[in-house]
Amino acid sequence: MLITLKCLMLALLSAGSLADNSRPEQVPAMVKKYGEETDALRSDPALKLTWRTLLSIKYNLKYFEEIKMEMYAPVFSDTLKKLDGKFVEVEGYVIPLSATEYVLSASPYASCFFCGKASPASVMNLRFEKPGKKYNMDAFVKFQGVLQLNYDDPNEFYYALVNAKEP
């Protein structure tokens, strides 16, 4: 499944129209590595996050040793960098990847990143606080959780919503 996702990402981005090769992006030292725990306070009100903000990224061609190939890597805006690790609220279309894995998309399945011409920044991995709930394809749902930006893992999406739950 991951190979297929990587191939789709590469195919969508290979046209180069999304690329900004003007300067390489360095990961700020204070940013946690993708997948690490965050200390965002769940008692804080969730910041409303829009897909327009999530889509405000550029791309740089980068060689990934673990997959032995070049792919476009995200160059996050300053606004997104400030939201990394924050408790946010975002709504979108749920797309099942398997019986237990889901992503949230800015668009329905028929026009999402996988099948349409959307950006890879238009989907985010959902890591549920309490896994087990089942969602139908294209269910439009609002979720809250901690936003994590993925700077350097080619096997994951650019975004994850950690401890995701419906408000």
The ranges assigned to domains in the chain are: 2-165
Q: What is the pLDDT of residues 4-52, one digit of tens each?
A: 343 334 333 333 333 333 333 333 333 344 444 444 545 579 999 999 9
Of 26 and 67, the structure prediction assigns the larger pLDDT to 67
Q: What is the pLDDT of residues 118-153, one digit of tens each?
A: 788 999 999 999 999 999 999 999 999 999 999 989
User: Can you give the pTM of this predicted structure?
Assistant: 0.74
Instruction: Kindly report the CATH number that applies to the domain delimited by 2-165.
Output: 2.40.50
Tell me how far apart the alpha carbons of residues 94 and 104 are, in angstroms, rounded to a whole number: 5
For residues 157 and 103, the answer to whether their CB atoms sit within 8 Å is yes
Q: Where are the alpha helices (DSSP H) in the chain?
A: 2-13, 51-54, 78-83
